[in-house]
Amino acid sequence: MAQKNKINFSVRLDEDLYKKMLVVAEAEGRDVNNHILHLVRNSVAYHERVRGKIDISKIEIEKQTEEN
């Protein structure tokens, strides 16, 4: 069951990169999903430190249904 305010999306990686990510995630004590979240959070935090806070109030995203 999807959690409130969570967005699911697919990312395509080549097999070698995915395998390497598995190794890094395991070495850092994370599963792949949590490792990706960690990387994205760090990237956004860096962007906001360098360029300022991101205003998300005007950003619209297409809501996915269970069938999509």
pLDDT per residue of the chain (68 residues) written in tens, 0 to 9: 556 788 888 999 999 999 999 999 999 999 999 999 999 999 999 999 999 999 999 999 887 666 54
pLDDT at 6: 87
Structural domain boundaries, residue 42? 15-51
With beta carbons less than 8 A apart as the criterion, state whether 37 and 44 touch. no
Q: Is residue 21 part of a domain?
A: yes
Q: Is residue 41 part of a domain?
A: yes
Q: Which residues, including other chains, have CB under 8 Å from residue 10's CB and lie 6 or more apart?
A: none
Q: Is residue 3 part of a domain?
A: no
